[in-house]
């Protein structure tokens, strides 16, 4: 009994020590802080690349014949920033080319800023005014107002607008609007609409808004929804993919061309998607920027009079040439080299793994501390770092940059539907981030510890707002989805996993893939079916849960003296969760001898029989924590109940016993 109490108290003490600081959110990436992360990053390999570093001219648009994507949309945007009111006055001419076959007479636009119009919108009700550790500032609401909408012939369509709420029917939500056209659009035909709109920017929260004189314009213009032809993401009937802006959802849109003119006060500097087509000029008291981007599915920009701007050209065998631009908060003006090194490492390695980065620019915006709600976010050719809260941050600086650049591949080019299959961008990017952080900075993630943070496994293909429970979306999409990829890697080997992800990323570049597309890629590369695995762990919320149920020791005499005693031990183990095979079980005897056997996992329960000269002291399932998808580890270990005279006969060391138990729990 004394032994059992000692073990219980030791376990509780260990869990208490583990409890603090394991769920640290940082920027866009809510993954757990890695174990033993060094304060300063070592010099990454990318910093040592000796390839020539040419001075790159600003790029020019590719001829249409060299288009990388289908270019379903073409936007011409003109916006003026009014800092005194925190608002934008803007116009838009958008051309949409019908990618399907059936005639379409209704167009749908996302009006994302309306998510912040009041506390009654779907976004605000679902989020509770909190997102990624950030809280909606008091009286920080913002909105978008369409002031004019016409055909290219000048016919007004304002009376044809209808706000729709296909997900929840919330009449107070105006993040999705339908426009009924005068004439239907046939497959392959194009239609052009002209809009005027005003945006009252919210105080920075959930990726966009204003904070002091810093502006983050993300999801700031009316954006056409995605019309999916039959076969896209496995849909059987073509049609619009329509969703409101939810508390946990991000975005989904088609590739296209953007020509954007931005007018800001003369002391402001602008960072934006794409590249400037000409040098910014002063005109009538305004600084005028003109940007161009093609084969992208979004356009974002940031502006501030305080930016410290730095720029470097980078090329390598995997990156033909890219201009990296830093827009730093003054607090981080002396950290340029760290940002550049992380960006080069990410561009170089991800291009090697997943296909070349095809754009000529990459802009990195570092918000001020007060604008941290805009930090840690990805847009095509533009990312935001976490807010500059300290002048000597740890390796979370590099981790955030690497994560967001990873999104240039998984979301940026492999453009999955973030409303419905968020794991295809967040889990894949988190997987790539972990690998690169370990390769470049020697920071390895504690995967078993992270697995323990997913107490409720749910399907990875749920629409984002349907995850139930505290932080269930974050824990499943950022952590469990990544662990599924790591688990596949452990089964097939790193080399084969590299081949799987390279094949997937290259095949679905500039397309909209689904989870089934990824499954087919896994099966094609490995030449076997993965249907059962995906059914257990992707399409449903399966997770193994191994347990040591019972241990018994009996004495059998093998001779006439005490030395001839044999102990017969029986250990019953079970899996209370999803099927998982080839699980190691470690048995430790009272004299310190250990033996390991494997359970094929075919049944829910099995019993091991052991015979040895010493009694069995303990049994543990999966001692090395190789089964990454198991989150409940405490029932994996059990100590046998031994009589006091048996314990004293073997003179067990309590210190060694406790150390063994603590080692099991701490991983």
Res. 563 pLDDT band, cuts 50 70 90: low
Examine the pLDDT at 358 and tell me if it is beyond 80: yes
Q: In the annotation, is 478 catalytic?
A: yes
Answer whether residue 481 shows pLDDT above 50: yes
**Average pLDDT of 164-171?**
98
**pLDDT (0 to 100) of residue 175:** 98
Range with the lowest mean pLDDT among 70-79, 262-271, 650-659? 650-659
Per-residue pLDDT, 315 = 95
Q: Any binding-site annotation on 76?
A: no
Residue 656 has pLDDT above 90, yes or no: no
Give the pLDDT confidence of 593-620 residue by residue, as tens digits: 999 999 988 889 999 999 999 999 999 9
Residue 141 bears catalytic tag = no
Q: What is the pLDDT of residue 44?
A: 52
pLDDT, tens digit, for every residue of 84-126? 999 999 999 999 999 999 999 999 999 999 999 999 999 999 9
Structure confidence at residue 327 as a pLDDT band (50, 70, 90): very high
Mean residue pLDDT of the chain comes to 88
The residue annotated as part of the active site, out of 250, 318, 378, 404, is: 404
Of 295, 494, 337, 324, nearest to 405 by C-alpha is 324
Confidence band of 559 (pLDDT split at 50, 70, 90): low
* Most confident of the following: 19-23, 27-31, 510-514: 510-514
Quote the tokens at residue 508. Answer: 């679905």
| Both tokens assigned to 495 | 């080399």
> In this predicted model, what pLDDT tens digit does every residue of 421-436 receive, in sequence order?
999 999 999 999 999 9
CA atoms of 354 and 11, how far apart (whole Å): 43
pTM: 0.88
Residue showing tokens 């990296």: 324
Amino acid 138: pLDDT: 84
Characterize 583-595 residue by residue with b for buried, 16 or more Cβ atoms within 10 angstroms of its Cβ, and e for exposed.
Answer: bebbbbbbeeeee
Answer yes or no: is 403 a known binding residue.
Answer: yes
In the set 478, 504, 508, 537, the catalytic residue is: 478
Least confident stretch, 299-303, 526-530, 630-634, 657-661: 657-661
- Return d(Cα 233, Cα 249) in angstroms, integer: 18
Domains, the chain:
71-254 (no CATH), 439-538 (no CATH), 546-642 (2.60.40)
pLDDT given for residue 137 in this prediction:
84
Give residue for tokens 């097939």.
492
383 pLDDT above the threshold of 90: yes
pLDDT in tens, 329-338: 999 999 999 9
d(CA 402, CA 404): 6
**Looking at 218-343, which runs of residues are DSSP E strands?**
223-224, 226-228, 239-241, 256-264, 269-272, 275-283, 286-296, 301-304, 308-314, 322-328
pLDDT for the residue 103: 98
pLDDT of the residue at 391: 86
Half-sphere exposure of 104 (CA within 13 A, CB side): 24
Is position 523 annotated in a ligand binding site?
Answer: no
Q: Which residues contact 464 (CB under 8 A, 6 or more apart)?
A: 246, 248, 249, 250, 418, 419, 420, 422, 473, 477
Instruction: List, in sequence order, every beta strand (DSSP E) within 576-666.
Output: 583-589, 594-599, 605-612, 616-621, 637-639
Tokens of 376: 């840690």
SS3 state of residue 130: strand
How many angstroms separate the CA atoms of 99 and 72, rounded?
A: 7
Please answer whether residues 544 and 634 qualify as being in contact, where contact means their C-beta atoms are separated by less than 8 angstroms.
Answer: no
Contacts of 15 (CB under 8 A, 6+ apart): 665
Q: How many Å apart are CA 111 and CA 176, to the nearest integer? A: 6
Measured between alpha carbons, how far is 646 from 614 in angstroms, rounded to an integer? 10
CA–CA separation, 219 vs 202, rounded Å?
A: 12
Contacts of 232 (CB under 8 A, 6+ apart): 238, 512
| Residue 634 CB contacts under 8 Å (≥ 6 apart), including other chains | 11, 665
**Overall average pLDDT of the 383-410 stretch:** 96
């Amino acid at each position: 009994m004394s032994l059992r109490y000692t073990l219980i108290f030791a376990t509780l003490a260990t869990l208490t020590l583990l409890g603090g600081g394991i769920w640290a959110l940082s920027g866009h990436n809510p993954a757990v802080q890695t174990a033993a992360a060094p304060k300063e990053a070592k010099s990454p390999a990318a910093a040592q690349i000796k390839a020539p570093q040419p001075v790159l001219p600003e790029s020019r648009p590719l001829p249409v014949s060299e288009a990388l994507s289908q270019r379903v949309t073409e936007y011409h945007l003109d916006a003026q920033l009014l800092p005194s009111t925190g608002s934008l006055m803007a116009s838009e001419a958008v051309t949409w080319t019908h990618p399907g076959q059936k005639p379409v007479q209704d167009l749908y636009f996302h009006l994302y800023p309306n998510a912040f119009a009041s506390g009654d919108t779907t976004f605000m009700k679902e989020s509770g005014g909190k997102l990624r550790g950030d809280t909606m500032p008091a009286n920080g609401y913002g909105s978008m107002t369409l002031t004019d909408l016409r055909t290219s012939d000048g016919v007004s369509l304002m009376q044809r607008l209808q706000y729709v709420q296909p997900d929840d029917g919330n009449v107070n939500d105006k993040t999705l609007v339908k426009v009924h056209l005068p004439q239907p659009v046939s497959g392959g035909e194009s239609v052009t609409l002209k809009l005027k709109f005003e945006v009252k920017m919210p105080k920075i929260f959930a990726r966009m808004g204003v904070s002091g004189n810093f502006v983050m314009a993300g999801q700031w213009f009316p954006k056409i929804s995605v019309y999916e032809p039959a076969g896209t993401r496995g849909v059987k009937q073509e049609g619009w993919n329509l969703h409101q802006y939810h508390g946990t959802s991000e975005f989904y849109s088609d590739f296209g061309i953007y020509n954007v003119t931005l007018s800001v006060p003369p002391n402001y500097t602008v960072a934006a998607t794409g590249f400037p087509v000409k040098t910014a000029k002063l005109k009538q008291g305004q600084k005028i920027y003109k940007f161009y981007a093609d084969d992208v599915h979004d356009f974002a920009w940031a502006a501030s009079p305080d930016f410290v701007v730095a720029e470097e050209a980078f090329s390598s065998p995997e990156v033909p040439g890219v201009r990296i631009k830093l827009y730093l908060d003054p607090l981080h003006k002396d950290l340029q080299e760290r940002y550049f090194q992380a960006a080069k490492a990410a561009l170089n390695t991800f291009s090697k793994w997943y296909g070349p980065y095809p754009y000529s620019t990459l802009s990195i915006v570092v918000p001020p501390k007060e604008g941290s709600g805009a930090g840690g976010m990805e847009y095509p050719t533009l990312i935001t770092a976490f807010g500059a809260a300290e002048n000597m941050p740890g390796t979370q600086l590099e981790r955030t940059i690497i994560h967001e650049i990873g999104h240039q591949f998984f979301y940026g080019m492999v453009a999955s539907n973030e409303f419905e299959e968020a794991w295809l961008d967040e889990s894949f990017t988190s997987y790539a981030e972990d690998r690169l952080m370990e390769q470049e900075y020697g920071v390895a993630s504690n995967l078993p510890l992270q697995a323990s943070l997913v107490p409720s496994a749910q399907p990875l293909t749920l629409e984002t707002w349907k995850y139930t429970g505290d932080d269930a979306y974050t824990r499943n999409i950022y952590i469990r989805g990544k662990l599924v990829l790591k688990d596949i890697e452990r089964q097939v080997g790193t080399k084969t996993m590299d081949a799987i992800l390279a094949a997937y990323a290259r095949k679905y570049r500039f397309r909209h893939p689904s989870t089934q597309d990824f499954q087919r890629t896994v099966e094609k590369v490995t030449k076997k079916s993965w249907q059962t695995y995906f059914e257990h762990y992707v399409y449903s919320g399966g997770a193994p849960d191994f347990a040591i149920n019972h241990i018994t020791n009996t004495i059998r005499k093998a001779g006439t003296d005490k030395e001839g005693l044999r102990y017969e031990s029986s250990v019953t183990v079970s899996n209370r969760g999803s099927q998982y095979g080839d699980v190691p079980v470690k048995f430790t005897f009272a004299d310190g001898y250990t033996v390991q056997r494997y359970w094929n996992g075919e049944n829910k329960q099995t019993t091991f029989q052991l015979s040895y000269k010493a009694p069995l002291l303990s049994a543990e399932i999966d001692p090395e924590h190789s089964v990454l998808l198991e989150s409940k580890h405490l029932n994996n270990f059990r100590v046998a109940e031994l009589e006091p005279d048996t314990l004293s006969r073997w003179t067990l060391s309590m210190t060694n016993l406790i150390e063994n138990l603590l080692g099991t729990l701490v991983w």
